[in-house]
Amino acid sequence: MKVLYFAWLRDRVGTGEETIERPADVATVGDLMAWLAGRSEGHARAFADPALVRCAVDQDFAGLDAALDGAAEVAFFPPVTGG
């Protein structure tokens, strides 16, 4: 599965994109955040405050409970600031 990071999450993780093998017990966005946070110190800092993190599954906004079954691309980013 492809995982993307934007803005300061990218800065902290140290990359904008990585490919992961999702373990079977990582079923939701929330599970994935907890699992990713264990991958490196940078990941841990990126996900230190989950309330600041937003997510999209296959390019649609998704909440912590969203299921990852069949998802090809998950992105994490701060609240958007366009316009």
Partner 1 sequence: MIRVQTEPFDVGAEIGAFCRAGGSSGGSTGGSVGASIGGVATFVGLVRDHRGDTSEDAVPLQALTLEHYPGMTERQLERIEAEARRRWDLRDVLVIHRYGRMEPEEPIVLVCTAAAHRGPALQSCQFLIDWLKTRAPFWKCEETPDGAHWVEARDTDEAATARWEESLP
CA distances from 11 to 22, 23, 43 (A): 23, 25, 10
Q: Which is nearer to partner 1, 4 or 33 (CB)?
A: 4
Q: Closest separation between CB of residue 37 and partner 1, Å?
A: 20
Considering beta carbons, is residue 23 or 63 the nearer one to partner 1? 63
**CB of 67 vs partner 1, minimal distance in Å:** 19
Name the H helices within 1-83. Answer: 7-13, 29-37, 41-46
DSSP state of 55: E
Q: At closest approach, how far in Å is the CB of 83 from partner 1? A: 4
- Residue 7 or 64: which CB sits closer to partner 1? 7
> Which chain residues interact with partner 1 by CB under 8 A?
4, 6-8, 56, 59-61, 75, 77-83
SS3 content of the chain, % helix, strand, coil (to 5): 30, 25, 45
